[in-house]
Amino acid sequence: MYFSVMKSTPLIAHFETYLPFEEVEISLIESRISRRKLKRREHLLVNGDICRHYTFVVKGVLRLYGIDPSGKEHNILFAAENDWIYDITSFHEAKPGESNIQAIEPSEVIQIAQQDLYHLYVNIPKLDRVFKVITEEKYVELQNRVFQNISSTAQQRYTYFYEKYPNLATRLPNTQIASYLGITPEFLSMIRKEMVQGKTKK
Interacting residue ranges for a copy of itself, rule: CB under 8 A: 66, 68, 72, 74-77, 88-89, 92, 98, 121, 125-126, 128-129, 131-132, 135-136, 138-140, 142-147, 149-152, 180, 182
- When the beta carbons of 76 and 169 are compared against a copy of itself, the nearer one is 76
Q: Are 163 and 195 in contact (CB under 8 A)?
A: no
Strands (E), the chain: 34-38, 43-45, 53-59, 62-67, 73-79, 84-85, 99-103, 107-113
Three-state SS across 1-60? CHHHHHHHHHHHHHHHCCCCCCHHHHHHHHHCCEEEEECCCCEEECCCCCCCEEEEEEEC
- When the beta carbons of 139 and 173 are compared against a copy of itself, the nearer one is 139
Cβ of residue 158: shortest distance to a copy of itself, in angstroms?
A: 14
Cβ of residue 166: shortest distance to a copy of itself, in angstroms?
A: 19
Cβ of residue 106: shortest distance to a copy of itself, in angstroms?
A: 26
- When the beta carbons of 108 and 184 are compared against a copy of itself, the nearer one is 184
